[in-house]
Amino acid sequence: MSESFMSLPINIEEVIRGRSVEWERLEFKKGWNPEPVLHTLCAFANDFHNLGGGYIFIGVAQDEGRPVLPPAGLPSHELDHVQKEVLRLGYLIQPDYHPIVEPYVIDGKNILVLWSPGGPHRPYKAPESLSQSNRTFPYYIRKSSSTVKARHADEVELMSLAARVPFDDRVNQNARTSDLKASLMQTHLRDIGSQLADEAVNMSFEQICRRMNIVDGPQEHLLPRNVGLM
């Protein structure tokens, strides 16, 4: 049983068990280890196969790519520190990339979920090492359920992806946020069992849209993504 502090527009119970998201889009870390997290964030941002990025669960051990449940969990006093560290890592990726980070409690254990959709400014690269003496910046991608450095052929294809933003992720210049239907958004959240459905009652329309990642742009010129209009 899970509870959240700020819910994502997904059903965490379904995602963590691989019922609604492909296993290759899930990464599990028993404890906080910044370097592999940095590389995986970069890989999800590059979204090499246009699957929609992925999710990193910190505080959940894995066995052959599957989560070990109930989770190991993180000490409550570490949650704030790890969230600040994730923010720092986002500035090390070039260009900057920041996932949406939310703490959850699953089976009485604290975990952090890093929701990492494909980034709008591909390709992304990240330091190979966090050591100050070694600051080479490879491109990272996902191959099956592993994060790897892109080889030359992969880099060529990755460069071409910059000009091919998936249709769902594109901002629709001919639409307005008024074309998005709050009632349909609420119905969708309830249908998938997201706890965001209950929180949305006390949120502004813009906050809900941003949390669902269906809009983009500054507050004064907010536009819907195609995924929100489908």
All domains in the chain, ordered by first residue: 2-165 (3.30.950.30), 169-229 (no CATH)
Regarding predicted confidence, which is higher, 116 or 14? 116
pLDDT beyond 50 at 102 = yes
Report the percent of the chain where pLDDT is more than 90. Answer: 49
Distance separating alpha carbons of residues 64 and 90, to the nearest angstrom:
27
List Cα–Cα distances, 182 to 67, 177, 195, in angstroms: 34, 10, 16
pTM of the model: 0.76
pLDDT for the residue numbered 175 = 86
Dump pLDDT digits (tens) for 114-134: 999 888 888 999 999 998 777
pLDDT for the residue numbered 5 = 42
The 10 Å Cβ neighbour count of residue 159 is 13
For residue 31, count CB atoms less than 10 angstroms from its CB and return exposed for 0-12, middle for 13-18, buried for 19 or more: middle
Tokens 């994730």 identify what position?
86
Dump pLDDT digits (tens) for 145-156: 899 999 999 999
